């Protein structure tokens, strides 16, 4: 469709007949994501607030459809790359963010850590090196002031602000640790996402939300007892990238609900359903 035809369609978004408006919106949406740049230009040049509002809704619908398509493809992929999954989540609020930019930022953090890292160190000392770089040198830390902010679930925001929630801080930590070839993985604890270092001879746990605090299996057992829960194997063992992405989406649902943004919470719930195996989707 040529630009002048699109312009003619957009001019009809202000029509008094809702049937015409709905038909026009359907026609524009049928073109697909390729029309987004044109809509953005039209939004900038259009002075009619109601038309601008409808253009915004069209752009959001197209961007959301693109996100759903990417997420479905990620879910169907063999490797389910963790950073790619976190990037897809971030595009919900930041559709322009590029995966390659996130890779470069993490590469820089890895390089800063690698400069101080020695493979022959004892595992506890290896973790202390990572803790020193991430939490002392680079000033990553818990966002306790705005714990329920949706930005805490957006890896691009956390990389920029250096403040995040347990799961996003853990993701950054484990991506750096795994690039250093360390056996570090996520662990799905109730109410708190943590990491485990596990090889043939050692297993201990790391709380990235508390500056990389190292603790034991007994500490987790005590924590579970305090919550009056029955211990589950999943509370102690590594979880998959898929489980991490599901948990990040559940966090995002909770953030939007806490802020009263129920339409956004419902859209994220749809994303969660699309990568579920029919299990519990509770936050």
**So what's the pLDDT on residue 49?**
84
Ranges of the chain whose pLDDT falls below 70 = 1-2, 15, 278-283
- Is 217 in contact with 144 (CB distance < 8 Å)? no
Residue 75 to residue 241: CA distance in whole angstroms: 10
CA 203 vs CA 104, 124, 166, 210, 238: distances in Å: 30, 10, 20, 19, 11
Every domain of the chain and the residues it spans: 3-76, 82-274
Q: H or E segment at 98?
A: none
**So what's the pLDDT on residue 283?**
37
Residue 107 to residue 110: CA distance in whole angstroms: 5
**So what's the pLDDT on residue 26?**
83
Handedness of CA 27, 31, 37, 38 (dihedral sign): negative
Q: What is the pLDDT of residues 4-28, one digit of tens each?
A: 777 777 777 776 777 877 887 788 8
Q: Are strands 184-189 and 192-198 parallel, antiparallel or unpaired?
A: antiparallel
Joined tokens for residue 151: 């930005």
Q: What is the pLDDT of residues 210-267, one digit of tens each?
A: 999 999 999 999 999 999 999 999 999 999 999 999 999 999 999 999 999 999 999 9
- Torsion-angle region of 278 (φ positive above 0: left; ψ -120 to 50: alpha; else: beta): left
């Amino acid at each position: 469709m040529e630009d002048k035809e699109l312009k003619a369609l957009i001019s009809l978004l202000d029509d008094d007949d809702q049937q015409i408006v709905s038909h026009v919106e359907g026609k524009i949406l049928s073109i697909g994501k390729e029309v987004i740049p044109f809509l953005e230009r039209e939004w900038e040049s259009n002075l009619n607030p109601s038309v601008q509002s409808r253009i915004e809704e069209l752009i959001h619908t197209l961007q959301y459809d693109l996100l759903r398509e990417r997420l479905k493809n990620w879910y169907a992929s063999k490797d389910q790359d963790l950073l790619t999954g976190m990037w897809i989540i971030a595009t919900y609020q930041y559709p322009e963010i590029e995966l390659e930019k996130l890779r470069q930022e993490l590469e820089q953090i890895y390089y800063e850590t690698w400069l101080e890292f020695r493979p022959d160190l004892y595992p506890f000392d290896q973790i202390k090196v990572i803790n020193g770089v991430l939490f002392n040198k680079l000033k990553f830390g818990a966002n306790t002031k705005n714990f329920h902010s949706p930005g805490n679930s957006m890896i691009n925001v956390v990389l920029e602000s250096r403040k995040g929630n347990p799961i996003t801080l853990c993701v950054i930590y484990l991506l750096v640790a795994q690039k250093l070839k360390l056996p570090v993985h996520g662990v799905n604890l109730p109410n708190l996402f943590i990491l485990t270092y596990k090889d043939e001879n050692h297993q201990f746990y790391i709380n990235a939300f508390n500056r990389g605090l190292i603790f034991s299996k007994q500490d987790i057992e005590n924590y579970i007892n305090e919550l009056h829960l029955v211990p589950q194997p999943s509370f102690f063992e590594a979880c998959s990238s898929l489980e991490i992405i599901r948990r990040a989406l559940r966090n995002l649902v909770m953030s939007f609900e806490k802020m009263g943004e129920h339409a956004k919470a419902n859209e994220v719930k749809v994303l969660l359903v699309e990568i579920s195996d029919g299990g519990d989707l509770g936050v």
